[in-house]
Structure 1
Amino acid sequence: MKALIQRVMNANVTVNSEPISSIGQGLCVLIGICNGDTVKDMEYIVRKILSIKIFDDESNKRWKKNVVEKQFEVLCVSQFTLYNTWKGTKPDFHHAMPGEKSKEFYMKFLEMLRDQYQPEKIKDGEFGAYMQVSIQNDGPVTFTIESPSKEQDKTSKGDEKET
């Protein structure tokens, strides 16, 4: 499982020009779900999203507070393209978990995130829809986190890449 975490001043999602979701200051998190992801991967990513210290404290000291301590919001957007590989110049998504299975997994992920924080502060897009995601990145600050089992898989097996 992979998360691209962006510290934002605000973010919103629209589908067919209709607003679906929006947040004020907090995190916009793009979520990639890989074939073989487990609840353990989900727990790791949820823990990281809620605990990483990427906000300033009250004295403007950097990297001192997490989203929970600041009581900020989180906007999650499912994004299968985070698990692409390249076949020449074309993306290939065979590492991404297939549709219905990933939808169920993603919904459990959102439920776990809401259970461990304040449910009303966790927002999301529309799974499987063609969305427009607008963010005002704060910093800019952007981090990628991947569950450890996937990092170990890459180092032990290698990742086929074509150019």
Structure 2
Amino acid sequence: MKAVIQRVSKASVTIEGKQVASIKNGLLILLGIINEDAQEDINWLANKIVNIRIFNDDSGVMNTSLLDVKGDAIVVSQFTLQASTKKGNRPSYIKAAKPDIAIPLYERFVKQLEKDLGKTIQTGQFGANMQVELINDGPVTIIIDTKNKE
């Protein structure tokens, strides 16, 4: 499981002209899933995301977490995070999990994040063509891959 997390002052997701998600202070989380991902990846990644200290404290130092600042989150599925660009100029998405595997894992990830954060998480729509808008605060962008925990 791979996530790109962006600290945002605001973010939204629009599908076919209708806004389906919107937050102020928090994280926009782009999530890519592979076939080998499992509950262990979900638990580890959700815990890492709510506890990673990338929000400023009173001294202006990145020393507080999403949990500490009581921030919000939007999770957007993004299979292109699993692209391979080793050969040629056309990315290969062969590693990305197909919907029958990815959708249940995506939904379980959102539920685990809600449990760990203690609040409802907004989402895009799996497989939809989405327009994602954000103001990246900092900018702060972190890539986390559950296959590279060490």
- Pairwise TM-score range, normalised by the shorter structure: over 0.9
- What residue in structure 1 maps to residue 19 of structure 2? 19
- What residue in structure 2 maps to residue 156 of structure 1? none
Secondary structure of 1:85 counterpart = coil
Q: In the TM superposition, what are the counterparts of 1:1-163 in structure 2 within 5 Å?
A: 1-60=1-60, 62-86=61-85, 87-120=87-120, 122-147=121-146, 150-151=147-148
Unmatched runs of 5 consecutive residues or more in structure 2: none
Q: How many angstroms does 1:115 deviate by?
A: 1.3
4+ residue runs over 4 A deviation: none
Q: How many angstroms does 1:12 deviate by?
A: 0.1
Q: Who wins on radius of gyration, i.e. which is larger?
A: 1
Amino acid at match of 2:111: E
Counting matched residue pairs gives 148
For normalisation by structure 1, the TM-score amounts to 0.87
Q: How many angstroms does 1:119 deviate by?
A: 2.6
For normalisation by structure 2, the TM-score amounts to 0.95
Amino acid at match of 2:145: E
Question: What is the alpha-carbon distance in structure 1 between the residues aligned to residue 148 and residue 71 of structure 2?
Answer: 29
Identity in percent: 38
Contact 2:35 2:101 in 1 (8 A): no
Amino acid at match of 2:58: E
Q: How many angstroms does 1:63 deviate by?
A: 1.4
Amino acid at match of 1:58: D
Question: What is the alpha-carbon distance in structure 1 between the residues aligned to residue 119 and residue 33 of structure 2?
Answer: 22
Amino acid at match of 1:114: E
Secondary structure of 2:94 counterpart = coil
Question: What is the alpha-carbon distance in structure 2 between the residues aligned to residue 23 and residue 140 of structure 1?
Answer: 17
Secondary structure of 1:44 counterpart = helix
Q: How many angstroms does 1:34 deviate by?
A: 1.1
Unmatched runs of 5 consecutive residues or more in structure 1: 153-163
Over aligned residue pairs, what C-alpha RMSD do you find?
1.1
